[in-house]
């Protein structure tokens, strides 16, 4: 005879119901395995409250977290990718763009906007991995260049959050050309003595690293972000050497002088304001 018996009927619940009930409530941290309330995560800017793991975030949230009161005017929304090469890989590039627009809800792999940060006039862009891997095509290059040109016209600062797999293969040379175009615009910005703050987020790779992301007057990075040009496997095969541990992460790059400061996302806005106070109004503050 069992010591205990169940008088009440068993609660009937299938797996499907259970998933529905917990979906959108918890997120598991991939770094420390903690189960986190989504509401807590939202309050901590999508940073794990236990181990400070930085979850990837989208372009719109990035800009909201930067600008005063989360307010900005979106710029160049109509600038989107064309398909000048009529490129087809496993599927036509045109279809790929349409699909990316639908799934990401974004017009391109970067959102740019104008607004105030700590009272300073700022033109900011944020890249988004959910749009064809945050790749830099002609439209991304054009949007960044216009951002810089606007900053020069009205004496504003430029802040760009990078998150990219690199150049957009489907646009070939036209995509690579953006590296030179943006770099040239940044050189002009420099001559006008206006600051460019580059923020590297996970991951910043390829043509973006090889151009504007590393041209900041100040280069900030989020903790443990993957930052590099080529992937570790390609480099190991090329130089035939084992790479050191933590290679291509923010902290390693800071130690080797490629990054100026590793900044927790929750301190990012404050840090950028302090830098703008210093660089935009040297005689006042």
Task: Give the footprint of Zn ion on this chain (CB under 5 A).
Answer: 29, 31-32, 34, 48, 50-51, 53
Instruction: State the minimum distance, in angstroms, from the CB of residue 196 to Zn ion.
Output: 32
Instruction: State the minimum distance, in angstroms, from the CB of residue 32 to Zn ion.
Output: 3
Residue 44 or residue 183: which is nearer to Zn ion going by CB?
A: 44
Number of Cβ within a 10 Å radius of residue 11: 5
Residue 36 or residue 219: which is nearer to Zn ion going by CB?
A: 36
**108 close to 102: Cβ distance less than 8 angstroms:** no
User: 284 — phi, psi (to 5°)?
Assistant: -90, -45
Residue 48 or residue 194: which is nearer to Zn ion going by CB?
A: 48
Residue 50 or residue 274: which is nearer to Zn ion going by CB?
A: 50
Instruction: State the minimum distance, in angstroms, from the CB of residue 253 to Zn ion.
Output: 22
Residue whose C-alpha is closest to residue 168's, from 202, 198, 131, 215: 131
Instruction: State the minimum distance, in angstroms, from the CB of residue 28 to Zn ion.
Output: 9
Residue 38 or residue 99: which is nearer to Zn ion going by CB?
A: 38
Residue 65: exposure state from Cβ atoms within 10 A (0-12, 13-18, ≥19): middle
Strand order in the sheet with 73-75: 73-75, 110-117, 120-127, 157-164, 196-204, 218-221, 261-262
**160 close to 113: Cβ distance less than 8 angstroms:** no
CA distance 76 to 235: 37
Instruction: State the minimum distance, in angstroms, from the CB of residue 36 to Zn ion.
Output: 7
């Amino acid at each position: 005879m069992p010591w205990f018996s169940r008088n009440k009927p068993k609660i009937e619940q299938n797996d499907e119901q259970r998933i529905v009930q917990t979906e959108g409530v918890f997120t598991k941290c991939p770094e420390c395995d903690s189960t986190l309330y989504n509401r807590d995560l939202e309050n901590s800017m999508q940073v794990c409250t236990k181990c400070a793991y930085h979850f990837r975030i989208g372009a719109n949230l990035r800009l909201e977290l930067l600008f005063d009161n989360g307010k900005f005017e979106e710029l160049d929304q109509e600038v989107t990718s064309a398909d000048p090469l009529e490129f087809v890989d496993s599927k036509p590039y045109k279809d790929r763009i349409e699909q990316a627009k639908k799934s990401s809800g974004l017009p391109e792999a970067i959102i740019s906007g104008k607004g105030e940060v700590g009272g300073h006039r700022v033109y900011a862009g944020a890249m988004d991995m959910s749009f064809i891997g945050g790749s830099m095509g002609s439209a991304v290059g054009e949007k960044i260049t216009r951002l810089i040109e606007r900053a020069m016209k009205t004496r504003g600062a430029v802040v760009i959050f990078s998150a990219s797999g690199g150049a957009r293969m489907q646009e070939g040379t036209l995509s690579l050309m953006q590296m030179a175009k943006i770099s040239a615009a940044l050189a002009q910005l420099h001559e006008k003595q206006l600051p460019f703050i580059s923020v590297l987020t996970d991951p910043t790779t390829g043509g973006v690293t090889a151009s504007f992301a590393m041209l900041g007057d100040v280069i900030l990075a989020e903790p443990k972000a993957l930052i590099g040009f080529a992937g570790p496997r390609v480099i190991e095969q090329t130089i035939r050497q084992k790479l050191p541990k933590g290679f291509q992460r923010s902290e390693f790059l800071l130690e080797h002088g490629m990054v100026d400061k590793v900044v927790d996302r929750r301190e990012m806005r404050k840090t950028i304001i302090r830098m703008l106070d210093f660089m935009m109004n040297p005689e006042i503050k």
